[in-house]
Amino acid sequence: MIIALKHDARAEEIGDFTAFLEKQGVRVHLSEGASQTVLGLVGDTSGIDEEGLMARRLVEKVIRVQEPYKRANRVFHPEDTRIEIVVAGGKTRLLGGGYLGVIAGPCSVETREQIVTVAKAVKEAGAGFLRGGAFKPRTSPYSFQGLGCEGLDLLLEAKRETGLPIVTELMAIHQLEVFDGVDIIQVGARNMQNFALLKELGRCKKPVLLKRGPASTITELLMAAEYIMAGGNGRIILCERGIRTFDSYTRNTLDLSAVPALKRHTHLPVIVDPSHATGIAWMVPAMAKAAVAAGADGVIVEVHNDPETALCDGEQSITPDAFAALMGALEKYAEFEGKLLR
């Protein structure tokens, strides 16, 4: 961290400020220029609050050279993290570190028939993981809120029938009690900075699929991952799912540049959700392919056997047939990008 001081900073003030910084565990190197005094901080600056420093009268500007995240940082962990799920029969499913993971399924679990039908169809087409919502975060209290525990039971049944590991969203800490059979816990975009929840997931043994908040920067996403990792859980999948911008053609704006940016700064796998990002079914295949071309480690796609009557987000769900066609293209793209799909 580099701190440029105001040109009228007095020696005594600088001394006090240096002492304050050193109490926070860093060494301070002072360099007096012709017109500007600059402090260079050496050591672990991740606990130092940049904005707080700006409250000091003598501070002109602060530049962070080192990123504020440590455990998520590729600098300290150069090799890719790979998520491995052991499924029935001892087989494993892999995502990241050279493996392209495809997660597919309906927005909400609705009935036994629906979830099992979709699960079989996406498995047949080559998906590696099944998604489905049991607890649903909905903008309106009057909208369908998911089947809850009953939905979880149906998901487990689909898992037993197909052998696909399951991914589903957790909305509150107390729901952890019923998440035993869940393979990957999803944290929704609206909860990305629910720090109480993140801390609890740090104490949990399951992989976490962490969705980027619609107004969160890349650094904030990595800091949210850092909350979980600081608690001891390093198995995190990051998910870009669109950000809020002025453009309203799509529900959100899919920020595919986030993929190479994240891959450069972290060792964690990065996937893309073209369904929630666009909110438009006919756009999903194009954006899923683009995600893989941009370097994503996977995609999460909404598939519904009858999108027109889906209880939730039907407008962004593709049919099993469209999904099968997409898988054909993704295989080719994975091959171009040197990734295995299984």
For position 99 contacting a copy of itself by CB under 8 A, the verdict is no
Contacts of 187 (CB under 8 A, 6+ apart): 169, 170, 194, 197, 198, 201, 208, 209, 210, 211
Q: At what angle do helices 112-125 and 320-336 cross, to 10 degrees?
A: 30
For position 100 contacting a copy of itself by CB under 8 A, the verdict is no
DSSP string, 261-322: HHHHHBSS-EEE-HHHHH--GGGHHHHHHHHHHTT-SEEEEEB-S-GGG-SS-GGGPBPHHH
Task: Give the nearer residue to a copy of itself in terms of CB position, either 128 or 188.
Answer: 188
For position 111 contacting a copy of itself by CB under 8 A, the verdict is no
For position 144 contacting a copy of itself by CB under 8 A, the verdict is yes
DSSP character for 213?
P
Site for a copy of itself in 217-276 (CB under 8 A): 217-220, 223, 226-227, 230, 243-251, 253-261, 264
Task: Give the nearer residue to a copy of itself in terms of CB position, either 81 or 194.
Answer: 194
DSSP-based three-state secondary structure for 188: coil
Residue 223 beta carbon to a copy of itself: minimum distance, rounded to whole angstroms: 5
Task: Give the nearer residue to a copy of itself in terms of CB position, either 111 or 257.
Answer: 257
Residue 67's closest CA among 38, 51, 44? 44
Residue 84 beta carbon to a copy of itself: minimum distance, rounded to whole angstroms: 26
- Kindly tell me which residue out of 57, 160, 203, 342 binds a copy of itself, with binding defined by CB under 8 A: 57
Task: Give the nearer residue to a copy of itself in terms of CB position, either 20 or 84.
Answer: 20
Contacts of 132 (CB under 8 A, 6+ apart): 105, 106, 107, 108, 109, 115, 118, 151, 154, 155, 158, 166, 167, 168
Q: Cα–Cα distance between 221 and 82 in angstroms, integer? A: 19
For a copy of itself, which stretch binds (CB under 8 A), given 40-48, 80-88, 94-102, 114-122? 40-48
Residue 71 beta carbon to a copy of itself: minimum distance, rounded to whole angstroms: 9
Residue 30 beta carbon to a copy of itself: minimum distance, rounded to whole angstroms: 9
Site for a copy of itself in 286-315 (CB under 8 A): 286-287, 289-295, 307-315
Q: Are 293 and 256 in contact (CB under 8 A)?
A: no
For position 8 contacting a copy of itself by CB under 8 A, the verdict is no
Q: Are 172 and 198 in contact (CB under 8 A)?
A: no
Residue 57 beta carbon to a copy of itself: minimum distance, rounded to whole angstroms: 6
Residue 21 beta carbon to a copy of itself: minimum distance, rounded to whole angstroms: 12
For position 143 contacting a copy of itself by CB under 8 A, the verdict is yes
For position 193 contacting a copy of itself by CB under 8 A, the verdict is yes
Task: Give the nearer residue to a copy of itself in terms of CB position, either 88 or 173.
Answer: 173
